[in-house]
Structure 1
């Protein structure tokens, strides 16, 4: 057999072959369009995921900051309520005349009728 000879093959040109070629080209174009659409859709999904993730991240950090502030304010509220109860007790005590007299003697060094106050220094160690 002689392989050095070139073979020349002519293609059949008929309607069926042209129709099959058009269908193949149409399939290629559709496949190419499908890949493009999928790429664009994937990019949109990726961008949406990034936006949602950043939103969740910022909300989480904001929430943790607000929780810390809430804890701080709850502590402050507790101390203020304690102070309020102490002040209410002080008010009720100040309505008692004997208590006011005792405070005046102790803190302001006031004396009653006929009393003399002696100031005694405390010894320091």
Structure 2
């Protein structure tokens, strides 16, 4: 134990040599330290740029996905409307086909305009008129 105390006491009393070699080593160490600081700064700036680019890309992807979702919803609504219009068109085509049939036209005219065939008698029932008046009164 006595040796350790002597060595520590001896090292604290040692003065550093100030020659050209020692100064060049100190300058080299300072350059290396400055290089490490500059490297750290460059890496920090590069990391920030990468982070900003990542955030920008993320926001762009999110906005585009929202736009795509809106367009998909509009497309679905348009397809539903198209399907409804196609059904209506099919019904109208069927009605056109029926209107080209003379028997159908005759039946429609008898029903709508109370026309009769030869030998037919048309009766109107008073209950229907009373029911129509009651329904009209209920709606008001």
What interval of TM-score do these two structures reach, taking the shorter chain for normalisation? 0.7 to 0.9
Q: Which runs of 4+ in 1 moved over 4 A?
A: 7-10, 112-116
What does residue range 45-60 of structure 1 map to in structure 2 within 5 Å?
45-60=50-65
What's the C-alpha RMSD, in Å, of the aligned pairs? 2.6
- Deviation per CA, 1:29-64: give whole Å up to 9, x if none: 100001100110111111111111111111122222
Which residue matches 1:96?
101
TM-score of the superposition, structure 2-length normalised?
0.74
Instruction: Using the TM superposition, give the Cα deviation of residue 8 of structure 1 relative to its aligned residue in structure 2, in angstroms.
Output: 6.1
Matched, 1:12 2:2: no
Instruction: Using the TM superposition, give the Cα deviation of residue 119 of structure 1 relative to its aligned residue in structure 2, in angstroms.
Output: 1.5
Which residue matches 1:76?
81
Match among 55, 63, 72 for residue 67 of structure 1? 72
Return the alpha-carbon distance in structure 1 between the equivalents of residues 114 and 120 of structure 2. Answer: 11
Q: Give structure 2 stretches of 5+ with no counterpart.
A: 6-11, 132-140
Matched, 1:27 2:35: no
Per residue, is there more helix in 1 or in 2? 2
Number of matched pairs: 122
- Deviation per CA, 1:65-99: give whole Å up to 9, x if none: 22222211111111111111111111011011111
Match among 86, 91, 100 for residue 86 of structure 1? 91
Q: Which moved more, 1:112-121 or 1:88-97?
A: 112-121
TM-score of the superposition, structure 1-length normalised?
0.82
- Deviation per CA, 1:4-26: give whole Å up to 9, x if none: xxx76543222211211111011
